[in-house]
Amino acid sequence: MNIKSVFSVSTLLGVSLVALAAPSGQPSVSTPITDLKYGPTGISDGVHGELYAAPAFGDVSRGPHGTFIKMPAGFVSPPHTHSDDYWSVVLTGVMVNGRPGSKDIPLPAGSYYFQKGGEVHVTKCLTATECVFFVNQIGKFDFMKAE
């Protein structure tokens, strides 16, 4: 595959994701980071605290959404799955997202990862300060501990 084909496929994929996630019929919005309203998620690692979420669009508990998530410093999730795929960008801190037992690949601010729905994984915040990441998902955000 040549670079032009890769660019075309990447552009098409990017446009498709935006089209899936864009809130139809809504006015344009500009929200300063200081205006984000974070609330509890009920998801904790039992040691470092709970994840907090702030909506950008949609409803994290009901369907398609774009959501900012704060993860406490040192947080390590239990192995878990989600029903639907999601796309994520790390905004602050250094995170890891991978299969249990796999080599940690540090994801500093600006990094991207994709998480396939139904795939068991672990998410971590490696830094001494909280990690913040943005999740874009076509379904609701659920969290099911793996057995």
Identify the bridge partners of residue 5 per DSSP, sorted by sequence position.
none
Residue 9: predicted pLDDT? 37
The whole-number pLDDT of residue 5 equals 41
pLDDT at 19: 44
pLDDT at residue 15 in the model: 39
Distance CA 56, CA 54 (A): 7
Cβ–Cβ under 8 Å, residues 122 and 78: yes
Query: What is the pLDDT at residue 39?
Result: 95
pTM reported for the whole predicted model: 0.81
Q: Which residue numbers in the chain have pLDDT < 70? A: 1-24
- Look at residue 61 in the predicted model and tell me its pLDDT: 85
- What's the confidence (pLDDT) of residue 73? 98
Which domains can be identified in the chain, with CATH numbers? 36-145 (2.60.120.10)
Q: So what's the pLDDT on residue 21?
A: 52
Q: In what order do the strands lie in the sheet with 107-108?
A: 107-108, 94-98, 122-125
